[in-house]
Amino acid sequence: MIAPFLTGVGAGLGLIVAIGAQNAYVLRQGIRREWILPIVIVCVASDALLIFVGVGGIGAAIQGAPVLLDVIRWVGAAFLVAYGLFAARRAIRPGALVASTASRGGATLWSAALTAMALTWLNPHVYLDTLVLLGSLANAQGESGRWLFGAGAATASAVWFPLVGFGARGLTGFFARPASWRVLDGCVAVLMLTLAVLLATRG
């Protein structure tokens, strides 16, 4: 029963660990040591909610129409292949995640939390990643394994954001090196393509 959980952790990390506005914001606030805990809580809670809505929502939808599982499985596999290829391209031409430390005046708790919420909930990719992709991957694990997969994906988020937020000062140099992102994106590419094969051949 541990396999669905570990698969969820791997898939969750593969989607979360990427250069993006949300990670950059968490990193910037971590460097400034400003409202780190509330921001981390918003990001982790939002991800967990979206992940479990995806796991439960898609699971409920396919109960009345099992053929949807096959459709979702192939769409999810195609998305994973595309995501893996994009990660491979990023590995070939790596970027860097650099958070500005310039202060524009201390942010309030509410403004910091609302910014974190906006960067999460107003990002269209988050719905594809959590509701569609992770939801389809979860339901490919079967009725008994899908919730373990969801728990694994949520655990990945619960580990990643505190690591970035509270470890920001120590991780700044790591994230600023393109070579680091080459390794990370290379691993993400391998993971996503492997998951695509497993998803496509499961049925």
Q: 63-94, pLDDT tens digit by residue?
A: 566 676 677 678 777 877 887 898 788 889 88
Nearest partner of 11 among 120, 145, 155, judged by Cα: 155
The tokens describing 47, both together, are 């991800």
At residue 152, does pLDDT exceed 90? yes
Nearest partner of 87 among 202, 171, 199, 183, judged by Cα: 183
Look at residue 46 in the predicted model and tell me its pLDDT.
94
At residue 203, does pLDDT exceed 60? no
pTM over 0.85: no
Overall average pLDDT of the 131-152 stretch: 86
Look at residue 19 in the predicted model and tell me its pLDDT.
62
Task: Grade residue 45 by pLDDT with cuts at 50, 70 and 90.
Answer: very high
User: Can you say whether the dihedral through the CA atoms of 191, 201, 63, 5 is positive or negative?
Assistant: negative
Nearest partner of 149 among 162, 159, 136, 160, judged by Cα: 136
Look at residue 97 in the predicted model and tell me its pLDDT.
66
Alpha carbon distance 75, 69 (integer Å): 10
Alpha carbon distance 159, 175 (integer Å): 17
Q: Are 142 and 7 in contact (CB under 8 A)?
A: no
Look at residue 153 in the predicted model and tell me its pLDDT.
94
> What is the rounded average pLDDT for all residues in the chain?
81
Cα distances (angstroms) measured from residue 148 to each of 55, 117, 179: 10, 26, 33
